[in-house]
Chain A
Amino acid sequence: MQYLLQFTYRPGEGPEEGTPEFDAEMKVWHELNEELRTSGQYLAASGLKVDAATTVRKTGDEVTVTDGPFAETKEILFSFYILEVPDLDAAIAVAARTPAAEYGSVDIRPMVGASFA
């Protein structure tokens, strides 16, 4: 079963880049990544540039491009995992070990019909 884990934080929460706390957090992520790779649960993961998102909508032939989505979202999506695990409890177990679970939140979304290049 494949799950998308979305990691979010609220502005002002979580350690800031350049602090020892931030470095400590990165270490936890790297160790977790390694472990998930070794156990075969890891399919993909990435950080996201949180200040550079762009939203596209199309009405008829008209394409509207806007900066965002920040204004309407209090929680900022900053990273994701794609995992292959047996069931929801296994996905929850991984989510609970991530630093984001402590200062932000993790949304677990079951994937359907995923395909990878």
Chain B
Amino acid sequence: MSAAAGALERAYRDERAAVLATITRRLGGDLALAEDVVQDAFVVAAVDWDRRGAPERPGAWLTTTAWRKALARLRHDRVAAAYVPETPMTSEFEFDDSSLDDDQLAMLFACCHPALAPESRMALTLRSVAGLTVPEIARAFLSSEAAMERRLGRARRKVSDARIPVSVPSDDLLPERLAGVLRVVYLIFTEGHGAVRGDLCEEAIRLARLLVRLMPDESEARGLLALLSLTDARRAARMADGELVALPEQDRSLWDAERIAEGRALLGGIKSPPTPYVIQAAISALHSTAPSWEATDWPQIAALYAELQRYDGSPVVAVNRAVAVGFADGPRAGLALLDAAAQDERLARYQPLHAARAELLTRAGEDADEAYARAIELTANEAERAALSRRRAS
């Protein structure tokens, strides 16, 4: 790769979101136009930098170029429609390198604004912060390019029309809004993780890393990055012969030691009291260092799930806690927790509950046939059905 191409790639990765934030603000919130002209600026850069070499301040160069493009468009529109919203037409423009980080954050907070639909937040974040192309995002969400373009278009119009601020929220709003941003990053990851799509997992980890770098004092951001690294470390072991492999059956030699080390190091640096992502990361770290499913530190995992349940009343947490307690304190203690959780009627068709119940009943030496039958009935995954049937027969 030539020096110019390298500089362009770096600028795209590190400065695009900040340039976009600056231009959007300057255009009074018109994110749609800003996207277009920033894209144009990168096209110009590809030719210009190759010929003349990369500029000393790529971000400033791109911002000025994008702004000139925006002015040209606005002048054209003004002639065409004799109407342009109150935008200063001056071409003098200072790009402030020192606000690069803040501008990236500003873009991230705008894309994850709660006034946008949740699925639009993910798509817009991937486009305007991570810089993924529309076809890439469409593929990631198994959507058509046209549908994704429409969704992004609507989201951008909402940012412009409702004037969603492209700025870092004030201190009183920050905790709540940051939680929303972390949630979007987490959902991008789970979207990729569920479908075993490494590209989305990588993007989510990159975004989490950016947040940790820009907001180093936020332990939930750190906890999220730790959780994503530790979970993603198991990616290679999660698929075998085209089927998902559950944690107990995974080949642990395939786990990514580097990612595990990164996750554990992040966790080690957190001093504040545990919060949901930090707790989940701690659970994941214990799994990551266990030699086998059986030889896992179950008492500590059970205690962490109990802590997590205080924040998260979801069935996933309730069932996972019962499984951990089943190992830590014996199958009957686990069954007692499962039976309590099963009071919730919504769990009648929750497969993991019935699979866990079958397992615990077997270990308690009781009749597990009915529980196995129910779990098998609710399992769509062929490999998992086969594994359950084997255990039922043994």
Contacts and interface: CB of A to CB of B under 8 A. Distances in A.
Q: A and B: partners?
A: yes
Interface of A: 1, 86-89, 92, 108, 110, 112
Contacts of A1: 163
B169 A88 contact: no
Interface residues of B, number: 11
A1 B173 CA distance: 20
A108 B165 CA distance: 15
B244 interface: no
A82 B107 CA distance: 28
Contact of A110 (B113, B163, B165, B170): B163
B43 interface: no
A105 B55 CA distance: 52
B72 interface: no
21 contacts: A1-B163, A86-B165, A87-B163, A87-B164, A87-B165, A88-B115, A88-B162, A88-B163, A88-B164, A88-B165, A89-B164, A89-B165, A89-B169, A89-B170, A89-B173, A92-B115, A108-B162, A110-B161, A110-B162, A110-B163, A112-B161
Contacts of A112: 161
Nearest to A93: B173
A108 B163 CA distance: 11
Nearest to B170: A89
Interface in B93-151: 113, 115
Nearest to B177: A89
B175 to A, nearest CB: 14
Contacts of A88: 113, 115, 162-165
A88 B113 CA distance: 10
Contacts, number: 24
Nearest 9 A/B pairs, CB to CB:
A87-B165, A87-B163, A1-B163, A110-B162, A88-B162, A88-B164, A89-B165, A88-B163, A110-B161
A110 B157 CA distance: 12
A86 B161 CA distance: 13
A60 B204 CA distance: 56
A53 to B, nearest CB: 27
A92 to B, nearest CB: 8
A112 B160 CA distance: 12
Contacts of B173: 89
Contacts of A86: 163, 165
Contacts of B170: 89
A87 B115 CA distance: 12
A15 to B, nearest CB: 27
A3 to B, nearest CB: 8
Contacts of B165: 86-89
B108 to A, nearest CB: 15
A112 B162 CA distance: 10
A88 B165 CA distance: 7
Contacts of B29: 87
Given A87-B163, A89-B170, 9 more contacts: A86-B165, A87-B29, A87-B165, A88-B164, A89-B164, A89-B169, A108-B162, A110-B162, A112-B161
A10 B159 CA distance: 30
A110 B113 CA distance: 16
Nearest to B114: A92
Contacts of A108: 162
Contacts of B113: 88
Nearest to B172: A93
A117 to B, nearest CB: 22
Nearest to B165: A87
Contacts of B161: 110, 112
Contacts of A89: 164-165, 169-170, 173
Interface string B294-333: 0000000000000000000000000000000000000000
A92 B169 CA distance: 12
Contacts of A87: 29, 163-165
A110 B85 CA distance: 15
A83 to B, nearest CB: 12
A108 B115 CA distance: 10
B195 to A, nearest CB: 33
Contacts of B169: 89
A89 B164 CA distance: 7
From A86, A87, A92, residue with most partner B Cβ within 10 Å: A87
B84 to A, nearest CB: 14
